[in-house]
Structure 1
Amino acid sequence: MNDNLESTDELNHIDSDRLLRLSLDMGEGMLKSGAEIHRVEECIRRICLAYGVAHVEVFAITSLIVASVRLSNGDMSLQMRRVYNSSNNLMRVEKLNDISRTVCKNLPSLDEFEKMILNAKKETQSHWILQYLGGVLVAGSFAILFGGSILDALVAALMGMIVIFIDNLPVKNLDSTVKCVVTSFICGLLTCVFVNFGIGHDQNIIMIGTIMLLIPGIAFGNSLSDLVYGDILAGVSRLVQSLIKAVLIAVAFGLAIFTAGVLL
Structure 2
Amino acid sequence: MAETKNAEFYQEVLDICLTAGRLMIEGGSEMYRVEDTMLRIARNAGIMDPRVFATPTCVFMSLDGGKLSQMKQIRDRNINLELVDRVNALSRKFAAKKISLKDLKSRVLALQTELPTFPLWLQVMGAAALSATLLVLFMDDYDWVDFPAAAIVGALGYLAYVFFKRFTRVRFLSELVAAMVMSVIAIGIAHFFPEMVVDNILIGALMTLVPGLAFTNALRDLFMGDLLSGIVRLFEATLTALALGGGVGIVIKFLGV
Q: Same fold by TM (over 0.5)?
A: yes
For 1:42-81, what aligned pairs fall within 5 Å after superposition? 42-70=36-64, 76-81=67-72
Counterpart position of 1:256 = 251
Cα deviation code 1:39-59 (max 9, x no counterpart):
011111111111111221111
Q: Which moved more, 1:136-145 or 1:122-131?
A: 122-131
Q: Which moved more, 1:78-87 or 1:105-114?
A: 105-114
- Change in Cα spacing, 1:144 to 1:75, as seen in structure 2 (3 Å) is closer
Question: Per-residue deviation at 1:200?
Answer: 6.0
For 1:101-140, what aligned pairs fall within 5 Å after superposition? 101-106=92-97, 108-121=99-112, 122=114, 124-140=116-132
Is the partner of 1:168 in helix, strand or coil? Answer: helix
Q: How many residues align?
A: 251
Aligned pair 1:211/2:202, yes or no? no
Letter in 2 for 1:114: K
Cα deviation code 1:3-32 (max 9, x no counterpart):
xxxxxx997111211211111111111111
Question: Per-residue deviation at 1:38?
Answer: 0.6
Which consecutive residues of structure 1, in runs of 5 or more, have no partner in the other structure? 1-8
Distance 1:80 1:241 in 2: 22
Distance 1:148 1:193 in 2: 22
Across the aligned residues of Structure 1 and Structure 2, the Cα RMSD in angstroms comes to 2.3
Letter in 2 for 1:49: R
Distance 2:213 2:150 in 1: 21
Distance 1:10 1:45 in 2: 23
Counterpart position of 1:4 = none
Aligned 8 A contact 1:28 1:81 in 2: yes
Match of 1:153 among 138, 143, 147: 147
Question: Per-residue deviation at 1:107?
Answer: 6.9
Question: Per-residue deviation at 1:251?
Answer: 1.4
TM-score with structure 1 setting the length: 0.87
Question: Per-residue deviation at 1:76?
Answer: 2.6
Cα deviation code 1:84-116 (max 9, x no counterpart):
121111111111111110122227444422321
TM-score with structure 2 setting the length: 0.89
Counterpart position of 1:84 = 75
Aligned pair 1:168/2:159, yes or no? no
